[in-house]
Structure 1
C-alpha cells in the first residue's frame, strides 16, 4: 500500500523542483539536445520512476506498475483510435478517392484564400474531430500543396488551422481523458472548453488569410473568414453543451456549408490562384476543369468514408445503442497497484476501464470495414493498408506509450499534486497561467490528450487550493494545449514530412511560434476573465 505525500522534502518549493525533474528532462532532451521523441520520452520516464522511488518513497514495483497502467490506457485512448483513423485515410489514397476529394474542394471557389479556409479550417476540423493526432496536418498540407500553395506556407496554414478543433479531436478524446483523470464530468468539461475554444475558432480564419496573402488577403477575402469563423464558433459553443464528441463534426460541416453558400453570392474582387507546385498564376478555372472530370458517383464515394464515420458515431449516441455498446465494459482495480490519497482514500486513477466494444477506436474500425465495402477494397488490400499504417507509426508508438507511462507515474506517485499545490501559490492569477500549463503539456507530449493525462490533476488540485472552479481550469488545460499543436516536435515533423521538407523543422517553428504565443496570450486573458464576474457566467 502506498500513500501519496505531496510534500516529501518538507519544503513545498523543493518538492516542486523535485517533481518537475521529469518534465525538465523531457524538454531538455527534446528541445535542447534534439533527441528523438521516443528516446527523450523513455529517458523522462526513467527520471520519473527515479523521483517516485527515491524522492517520494514509492516502491519500485508500484512505480513500474503505474507506468504499465499508463501504457495500457494509451492503447485504447490513443493508439487504437489513431491506427484506425489513418487506416481509413490510407485506403482513400490507395484507391484514388483522396485525389477526387481534393479536386472537389476546388469547385468551392476560384480563390485559393477561400479554398485554404475550407480545406485547412473546415475540412481539417472534420478530420481532427474524426481522427485526431497529426492526421489533419498531413492530409491538409498535401491538399494545399496540390492546389498551388508553396509547401512551407501550406504547412503553416495546416498547423495554424489545427487549433480550435483539437480539444474535441478524436471524437472528444482529450475531454474524455480530462474527465477520467479528474473523476469529474467529461460532459461539463466539454461544455466549458467549447466556451473557450469558440473564441479561438472565430479568430483563426482571419489569421489564415494573413498567412496566405498578408494584409491584402485580409482586405479582399474577409467575408469568407467572417462566415467560416462565426458559423464554426457559434456551432461549437452551442453543440459542445449537448455532445462534446460530436460538436466539432457539426461545427466543421456548418462552417463549410456556410462558405459554400457565401460563394454563390460573393467572390473576392481580386482572385488569388497559383499553379500547383509553382509560383505562377494558374489558368482561370483550371482546378474546376480538372474536377469536372469526376463523376458525381466518384465524388460521393470520395466523401463516403467521412459520412460513414459520422453516421456510425451518431448512431452510437442513441441511448439504446450506447447501452448495448457499453454492455461488455469492465472496470477493475489495476492488479498490484494500491495507492491512497493523503486523506486515505483510494486513487480513482488506479482503476482500468476496458471498454473495447464501444471504444472510439472500435467504432472507427467498423467504419473502416464499411469503407472497404463502399470503396470496393478487397480484404487483402485492406489488410495491406493496415500494415502500411502500422509501419508508418514506427517509433511514434514507443513515444506514446512512454508519455502515458510518464503521466501515470507522476500522477500516482503524487508528483503532479505537488506541482499543483505549488502553482496554486499564484492565487487568483493562476487562472491566467492555467492555459500556459496546458500549452507546455502539448509542446511536450504532442497531443492534447497527452497533456490532459499529464496535467489535468494539477489543474484541479490548484483550483481546489485557490477556491476556483476545477471545471474552468481543467478545460483551460485542454484549450491552452491546442495552441501548442503547431509548435510540438511531432506535428512539425508530420508537416515537413507531408510537404517534402524534412530537415526544415527549425524554419517552420520560427514561422508558427509567434502565432502560437499571440493566440495563447489571448486565451489566457479570456480564461482569467472567466474566473471573474466579468465572464464568470460562462462557467456551466
Structure 2
C-alpha cells in the first residue's frame, strides 16, 4: 500500500463500501448494462483511478505507475502465455495434427456427452495444471466447437469445468506461492492438505453438473457409469496427491490418469443411446497409434518444457539477479516508486514458445513462414482481449496500492467468529478482479492468515478457503470471460457468457462459504 491510509473516512464500513465500487460496477456493466468487456474494463479503470486519487489520496505518480505496472503484467507474462498457447494450437490445426487429435478423442466415443468429459473436463484440467492463465479455456472451448458444440455453450462448459482444477493451475503456483510470504503457522503444504476437505466435493460434483447442463437428468442417467469413473478417478487421485506430494502435480497427474482410465472404460462400455447435437453425424474415425502419438506431440512438448521450466534448479538460473531478468518503470514515471520485473527466458510463455517452434521444426506439413503468419494472426485476434486484461490488472494494482483491497479485507475480518463464513468471498473478489488465483492469494492470503491468528482459528484453513473461493470466481472473472469469448469467436458477447455462468459461480461460492464455517467447528 502506498496511500497514506486505507481508511480515509475513519469508518471502515463506509471505506469498504467505496472500495467495493469497482467490483459492483464491473458486475453491473457486464450484466445489467450489457457492455462489451473492453468498455467495461476501461470505464472501471477510470472510475478506480478517480477513487484512488481523490478519496484514498494515492499520489498521481504512484497511480499512473500502478496502471502501467498492471498493463505490463497483462502483456507479460499473461498475454505472452495466452498468445503462445493459442499459437501452438493454431500450429496443430494448420499441420493437420489437430484433426487427428480431435478424431482420436471423438473416436473413443461418438457420444458428445462423453466427449465433453474427455475434453471439457479431463483435457481442461491437464492444460490448467500445465499452463493455467486461461490456456485451458481457450483451447478446450475451441476443441468443443470443432466437435459441434455451440460457441457460447462450449465456453460456459469449459469455464465451469475449470472449477475442478483452478486451485492448482500452472504447476500448483496458486498454492505454492504461499511459502514466499513466510506466514505464521501457514505453509503451502498445510494449505494443500486442507483443500482436501473442500475441493474433492466440488471436483466430484462438476462432471455431473456439466452433463446436466448439456442433457439434463436423462443424460446423467444414460452415462452415469462414465461420470462415476471420471469423478471418482480425478477426485481420489487429486486428494491423494495434495495430501502426500503437494500442489505442483495436483492437476497434471489426476487429469492424465482420468483421461486414460475413462478411455479404457469406454472401450468396454458405451451408452445405449448416443447423444449427438442436431446436424452432427455419427461417425467414428480410426487412427493408428503412431498417428495419435504424433497428433498429441505439441501437447507432450508443452508438458515437457513447462515441467522443465518449473524445476527449482532451472528457476534458479533466471532469478532476479540473473542477466535475463530485469526491471521496468523504475524512475520512468515521475513521482512513482513502482517497478515491474520481466523474466525473459524463465517465463512460462517461453516454454510454450519452444514447444511451438519445436513442433514447426519437426512437422513436415507446416513451414516457418506459415507458422509465423499464424503468430501474426493470433496477435491480431487477441489484441482486444489482452488490452482488457491489462485494464483489469491496472484496476487491481490501483486497488492494492491505494489500500482499497486492504480496506475490504479488514472490513470482512471485523466480522469476528462469522469470518470463516465470509472468508471465501475475499478469494472470490480477488480472482474476479485479477482473473488469477495466484494474484488472489498474493493479495489476500496474508490477510486471511492474520485474521485467523487474531481470531484463534486455523489460518491454513482460511487460506485454503481463500483459494477455493477464488476458484469459483474463475467462472465469471472478466479476464476468463474475455479469453473464452475471444477463443470461440464471440468477442463482444462477454455479458451473455457472464449471465450463463454467474449463478453457478455464486452457487459454488455459497457452498464453500457454508462448508468453511462448518469445518472451523469440526477441525
Shorter-chain TM-score tier: 0.7 to 0.9
In 1, the alpha carbon distance for the partners of 2:453 and 2:505 equals 29
Aligned length: 514
In 2, the alpha carbon distance for the partners of 1:199 and 1:190 equals 15
In 1, the alpha carbon distance for the partners of 2:259 and 2:414 equals 45
- Contact persistence 1:231–1:251 (CA under 8 A): yes
CA distances 1:207-230 after superposition (whole Å, capped 9, x unpaired): 222223222222232221121112
What is the CA RMSD across the aligned residues, in angstroms? Answer: 3.5
1:298 aligned residue: 291
In the TM superposition, 1:51-130 aligns within 5 A as: 51-130=51-130
1:531 aligns with 2:520: yes
1:345 aligned residue: none
1:397 aligned residue: 386
Structure with greater contact order relative to length (CA < 8 Å, sep ≥ 6): 2
Give the TM-score, by structure 1 length: 0.83
Unaligned runs of 5+ in 1: 339-348
1:368 aligns with 2:370: no
In 2, the alpha carbon distance for the partners of 1:191 and 1:486 equals 24
In 1, the alpha carbon distance for the partners of 2:71 and 2:490 equals 32
In 2, the alpha carbon distance for the partners of 1:84 and 1:501 equals 20
C-alpha deviation, 1:163, in angstroms:
1.5
Change (3 A) 1:490 1:42: same
In 2, the alpha carbon distance for the partners of 1:507 and 1:395 equals 18
- Contact persistence 1:148–1:273 (CA under 8 A): no
1:344 aligned residue: none
Which moves more between the two structures, 40-49 or 214-223? Answer: 40-49
Which moves more between the two structures, 447-456 or 467-476? Answer: 447-456
Change (3 A) 1:91 1:181: farther
In the TM superposition, 1:218-367 aligns within 5 A as: 218-240=220-242, 242-268=245-271, 270-274=272-276, 278=278, 282-283=281-282, 286-287=283-284, 291-292=285-286, 294-326=287-319, 328=322, 335=330, 352-367=340-355
In the TM superposition, 1:111-150 aligns within 5 A as: 111-149=111-149
CA distances 1:396-451 after superposition (whole Å, capped 9, x unpaired): 22222222222222212222111111111222322222223333444455454555
Change (3 A) 1:86 1:500: closer
Change (3 A) 1:51 1:516: closer
In 1, the alpha carbon distance for the partners of 2:462 and 2:74 equals 23
C-alpha deviation, 1:507, in angstroms:
5.9
- Contact persistence 1:404–1:450 (CA under 8 A): no
- Contact persistence 1:29–1:35 (CA under 8 A): yes
Unaligned runs of 5+ in 2: none
2:369 aligned residue: 380
C-alpha deviation, 1:360, in angstroms:
1.7
Change (3 A) 1:449 1:386: farther
Change (3 A) 1:62 1:405: same
In 1, the alpha carbon distance for the partners of 2:42 and 2:76 equals 20
In 2, the alpha carbon distance for the partners of 1:400 and 1:493 equals 8
